[in-house]
Amino acid sequence: ALRIEDEEIMELQNKFHVISRRYKVLEKIGEGTFSSVYKAEDLVGISNKVIKIHRSKHDITSRKKFPLVALKKIYVTSSPQRIYSELKFLYNLSGCRNIIPIVDAVRFEDQIVIVLPYCEHADYRDYYRDLPFNGIKIYMYELLSALSFIHDRGVIHRDVKPNNFLFNPATRRGVLVDFGLAEKVRDPHEHKYTCACISGGLSLSDYTDNEGKGYPKDDDRPARRANRAGTRGFRAPEVLLKCPNQTTKIDIWSAGVILLSLLARRFPFFDSNDDVDALVELTTIFGVHLMKHCAALHGLGFETNLPTLNDNSRSLSEIVFYALNIEKEANTFPEDSVAFDTLNCLSDDGSVDDSEMGVKHKVGFHLLKCLMELNYSKRYSADEALSHKFFEEFGR
C-alpha cells in the first residue's frame, strides 16, 4: 500500500499536467497551516534565472543536474484574497538575498502551486541546542537583514518564527519564507480612524474612568477586535492586547523571542494555550507594574488576581540563567556543551561576569532587551538592531 505522502505526490504529478511537464516531485518536506510543501526537480530550467542570482556559491543545489525547487501547494480552502496577497508579497519583495524569491505560480482548477527555489536548511529543532554563540549572531543578523528589507518596503511579515526562517548553519545563510499572513503597514491617518471605530469602548478615557474601580459589570461594549494572525508564543504584547494599529515592530518582538530561545536553549520558549495565558507568561517575566504600563499605552487597563504574579520584573538574563540551570540539573546537555557557554558567565541574579564570553553576552543581552521591549515605540527597528554593537564585526 502506498503511504499517504506517496499518494499525494502521485496526485500532484498526475492530476496537475503543468506540474508533471515541468517538475519531478521528489518528497514532501513541509506541512504548514495553509499548505503542503514538496521538494522537486526543475526539469525545464524555469528556475535557473532566479536561482542563479539568489544562491550562494556554497549551495549544494548548484551542483545538482536539475535545480531543486520547493512546490508550495496551497490548501484549496484558502481564500483567493489570501493566496493573491501571498503571491503579490513574494513578487514585490524579490531582490534580497534573505527573502525567498518566487520562480513561478501554477493553477489547475481551484488548486494553486507556488514554485520557489529549494532552500537547503536545517530543522531548528536540530540546532537550537548547540548553535555556538557566533552562530546565534549570524542567525540573528540574517533574520534582521530580511526584516530590514521588508520593513523598509512597509511590509509586516506577521509570522516570524523558526519554521518560517530557513537557516543553514553550514553556509550561514538564512532565508525568510511564508508571506501568507503578511500585510502592508497601515497609513497612520487611517489607523487613527480605525482606532476610534474598532476599539469601541476600550479607549484611553475608559481606562482612566475605570481605574481603581475594577471591571465594569454587565459590560455590553463590543469586544475589541484586531488582527491577531501569527503564532502562539511569538505574538508581541500589542498583538495580545488586540491593538488595532500594529506596526512592523511586531516582527521585531518575534525576532527577540527567537534570540531568547537560542540563548536559553529552549524551544518553544513560551508555551501558552491562548492570548490570556501568553499575557500571564509575559507578566511572570516583566511584572504586573510594567504590564499595566504597556496596556495603558494601548488604552487598556490590566488587572489580575493571580497570586503568583507580582510587580517584580526579572531581567531576561536572569530568566535565561534559570532556564539553563534547569537543563544542567536534568543533565540534558553534555558537560562541555556550548549551551553552557552562556550559563558559565551568568549568576543567579542575571548579572554577567567580565570574562571574554561574559563581555560578549552582555552585548547580546542588551540587544535582547531592546528587541523584547514592551513598548513598541521604544522597541528597536530592524536597522537599529543591525547597527547594535552585537553585530560590530559584520561591519554595517
Q: Which positions touch ligand ADP (CB under 6 A)?
A: 29-30, 32-35, 37, 70, 72, 100, 116, 118-119, 163-164, 166, 177-178, 180
Q: Of Mg ion, ligand ADP, none, which one does residue 381 interact with (CB within 5 to 8 Å by kind)?
A: none
Distance CA 149, CA 147 (A): 5
Is residue 184 a contact partner of residue 150, using CB atoms and an 8 Å limit?
no
**Residue number with the shortest CB distance to Mg ion?**
178
Our CB check for ligand ADP shows the closer of 165 and 286 to be 165
Nearest distance in Å: CB 70, ligand ADP: 3
- Give 77-80 contacts, CB < 8 A, sequence gap 24+: 78/34, 78/35
Nearest distance in Å: CB 64, ligand ADP: 14
Stretch that binds Mg ion, among 68-76, 177-185, 248-256, 271-279 (CB under 5 A): 177-185
Is residue 253 a contact partner of residue 379, using CB atoms and an 8 Å limit?
yes
Our CB check for Mg ion shows the closer of 165 and 390 to be 165
Active site residue 159: yes
Angle between helices 316-329 and 249-264 (to 10 degrees): 30
Strands 111-117 and 155-156: unpaired
Nearest distance in Å: CB 177, Mg ion: 7
Distance CA 98, CA 154 (A): 17
Distance CA 188, CA 292 (A): 25
Q: Does 164 engage in binding with Mg ion (CB under 5 A)?
A: yes
**Contact string (CB under 5 A) for Mg ion, positions 23-52, x = contact:** ---------x--------------------
Q: Of Mg ion, ligand ADP, none, which one does residue 66 interact with (CB within 5 to 8 Å by kind)?
A: none
Distance CA 254, CA 178 (A): 15
* Residues assigned a catalytic role: 159
Q: Which residues would be at the binding site for Mg ion (CB under 5 A)?
A: 32, 164, 178
